[in-house]
Amino acid sequence: MARTQKTKPNQTDRLLVIACGMIAREVLAVKEQLKLDHLDLTCLPAEFHFYPDRIPPAMDKAIEQAKADGYEHIFVGYADCGTGGLLDRICEKHGVERMAGPHCFAFYQGMDAYAKVADDDMMSFYMTDFLCRQFDAFFMKPLGLDKHPELIKDYFGNYEKLVYIAQTDDPELDKVAEKAAKMLGLAYERRSTGYGDLTTELASAAAHA
């Protein structure tokens, strides 16, 4: 369950972002970059990346809790993220907005840029800074690849390349992505995207708070 930062009842001058745990570091980076001092952050578990059906009910409860805590301005730090429109229903129910797009891989690149490569990327496996940092925890161990590398073909056999969407310039993360591509038998491409539309959408949400 999401943990919301404490605030005074009826406090109306702050914006609460309820985000996926996978983008927490990036939201805080944008907050610092744009000096959004009135932005607060709470996150749902990053593991919901694998269980998108858990996102809408958890978000429903998180928004209700945030309103009970006195927040009037709330922004959902998720794209659709595999919920099949169910997250949009929760947003409509509470009158809040979410990140535009199908997933973070799209909004990090920027929706306009993503639209140009989406068809060509159909057979691509995306990684982000977070997924590079958590590659073992999110892929190797849950999929059993650390003990059964022969399963790589079963899980990744339909992919053609690994695309690392880089939010920062970190040589250590580059190494992880390159190593992952080699291990998975995929071609490798690195795209330096920064925070993409996350920056503009958080700025817009904060301006209206």
Which residues make beta-bridge pairs with 124? 161
Which residues make beta-bridge pairs with 192? 166
What are the pLDDT digits (tens) for 97-125? 999 999 999 999 999 999 999 999 999 99
* Secondary structure E strands in the chain: 15-20, 39-44, 73-77, 97-98, 124-127, 161-166, 187-192
pLDDT at position 146 is 86
How many Å apart are CA 137 and CA 116, to the nearest integer? 32
pLDDT at position 26 is 98
pLDDT at position 11 is 59
Average pLDDT value for residue range 140-145: 87
* Residue 188: partners with Cβ closer than 8 Å, 6 or more residues away: 161, 162, 164, 177, 178, 181, 182
What are the pLDDT digits (tens) for 180-195? 999 999 999 999 999 9
Asked if pLDDT for residue 145 goes beyond 90, the answer is no
Span of 13-22, 73-82, 107-116, 145-154 with lowest mean pLDDT: 145-154
The three-state secondary structure class of 166 is strand
Residue 4 or 114, more confident: 114
How many Å apart are CA 19 and CA 42, to the nearest integer? 6
pTM greater than 0.75 (yes/no): yes
How many Å apart are CA 85 and CA 176, to the nearest integer? 33
Q: Delimit the domains of the chain by residue range.
A: 15-104+195-207, 111-192
The Cα-based distances of 121 to 118, 132, 135, 164 in angstroms read 5, 19, 21, 12
Which architecture does CATH list for 15-104+195-207?
3-Layer(aba) Sandwich (3.40)
List the one residue out of 52, 78, 62, 50 whose CA is nearest residue 197: 78
Asked if pLDDT for residue 4 goes beyond 60, the answer is no
What are the pLDDT digits (tens) for 7-56? 454 556 899 999 999 999 999 999 999 999 999 999 999 999 999 999 99
Average pLDDT value for residue range 67-79: 96
pLDDT at position 208 is 87
pLDDT at position 120 is 95
pLDDT at position 9 is 47
Average pLDDT value for residue range 191-208: 96
